[in-house]
Amino acid sequence: MKICVYGAGGIGCYVGGRLAAAGSDVTFVGRPRMAASVASGGLRLTDYRGADLRVSAVRFEVVPEAAADADLVLVTVKSAGTATAGAELAKVLKPGAVVVSFQNGLRNAPLLREALPGHQVVTGMVPFNVLNRGGGAFHQGTEGFLDVEPGLSSFAPAFAAAGLPLTEHADMLPVQWAKLLLNLNNPINALSDLPLRDELSQRGYRLCLAAVQSEALAVLNFAGIKPAQLTAVPAHRMPTILRLPDFLFRRLAARMLAIDPLARSSMWEDLQAGRPTEIAYLNGEITTLGSDLGIPTPINTRITELIHRAEQTPTHYTAPALQSALPL
């Protein structure tokens, strides 16, 4: 089978690279800057468990036509680029090609289905963090495998061989909401300018995250949405755990701090690179749903404003400064 990673950034290069390292035929499609980064030395893929894999021969293209012979397409573009990716793929995909959305947010797979009515589009989710270390090196800093809707059984052996087994869910929406709740930490991490472990070690930042999540959970509860449980702690209990003093948090939530010291959020990477972030598809989903239901969301609204400001002028906040900037 032939696999194409469409929109190969950090997640795409890592997942596609693991597949290629295990012997799959993988083509990457992405921006010229990423193609240039990979061209000289190929891909190096590491993880928090000590894996260290190299893929020297990498086919990395910059035009949609490179996806024309793919049996499976992994769409990993940023959410803002989904509609464009769907339109581009509609012109080149061969009949029978299967498409998987491995993207943040809730609306990407429906957009792809609208653009690709003749193709099976599967909702997927990547639960772990990947850091782009530059020069074709990508590092998985947190645990997790891949979550998908049913429909990929013929491709499952390739993912299993790559060390990324697929976990099927009959209903992916609760899983996506649960991931979105976890991703509400992305803007806090980005504004802290700290690795995830260092940020979560400070109660001041955790209080900000607890407030953001509590507001989101109130909106979801009103809407009758129950997120799936992705971690040892149920979503509705997470804010309570986050508010614990540092010594208790370290004792009771040690697994949350068992994060690779290199791990950072993708939103931090976007701000560092001067790229637009996905804030509208994370905290923005909470503010939109709250507005639809008539529920105020001042904390998620404010954190969204702070990220948009940081997109224009790089700004970092200590924990006390961020607490002061939010309507806690």
Give the per-residue pLDDT at 178. Answer: 94
Distance CA 150, CA 153 (A): 7
Amino acid at 46: T
The token pair that represents 37 in the structure block: 């980064």
pLDDT at position 40 is 79
State the pLDDT at residue 204. Answer: 98
pLDDT for 257 equals 67
From residue 140, alpha-carbon distances to 3, 75, 144, 320 in Å are 21, 19, 9, 30
* Residue 326: strand, helix, or coil: coil
- Topology (CATH) of 174-325: N-(1-d-carboxylethyl)-l-norvaline Dehydrogenase; domain 2 (1.10.1040)
Q: How many helices (H) and strands (E) does the chain have?
A: 15, 12
Question: How many CA atoms lie within 13 Å of 219's alpha carbon, on the beta-carbon side?
Answer: 26
Amino acid 262: pLDDT: 84
Answer whether 96's CB lies under 8 Å from 22's CB: no
Alpha helix positions (H), the chain: 10-21, 32-39, 82-92, 108-115, 156-161, 173-183, 185-192, 196-200, 203-223, 238-242, 246-252, 266-273, 283-293, 298-312, 319-325
Q: Which pLDDT does position 324 carry in this prediction?
A: 98
What is the per-residue pLDDT for 227? 96
Q: Are 325 and 306 in contact (CB under 8 A)?
A: yes
With beta carbons less than 8 A apart as the criterion, state whether 160 and 77 touch: no
Tell me how far apart the alpha carbons of residues 10 and 185 are, in angstroms, rounded to a whole number.
Answer: 18
Residue spans per domain, the chain? 2-170, 174-325
CB-based burial of residue 153 (10 Å sphere; 0-12 exposed, 13-18 middle, 19+ buried)? exposed
Equal CATH topology for 2-170 and 174-325: no
Distance, CA of 286 to CA of 190 (rounded, Å): 19
Q: DSSP for 169-211, please give it.
A: -S--HHHHHHHHHHHTHHHHHHHHTS-HHHHHTSHHHHHHHHH
Contact 147, 156 (CB under 8 A): no
Show pLDDT as tens, one digit a residue, over the chain (328 residues).
Answer: 999 999 999 999 999 999 999 999 999 999 999 999 898 789 999 998 899 999 998 999 999 999 999 999 999 999 999 999 999 999 999 999 999 999 999 999 999 999 999 999 999 999 999 999 989 999 998 888 999 999 999 999 999 999 999 999 999 999 999 999 999 999 999 999 999 999 999 999 999 999 999 999 999 999 999 999 888 889 999 999 999 999 999 888 877 767 888 889 999 999 999 999 999 999 999 999 999 999 999 999 999 999 999 999 999 999 999 999 999 9
CATH no., domain 2-170: 3.40.50.720
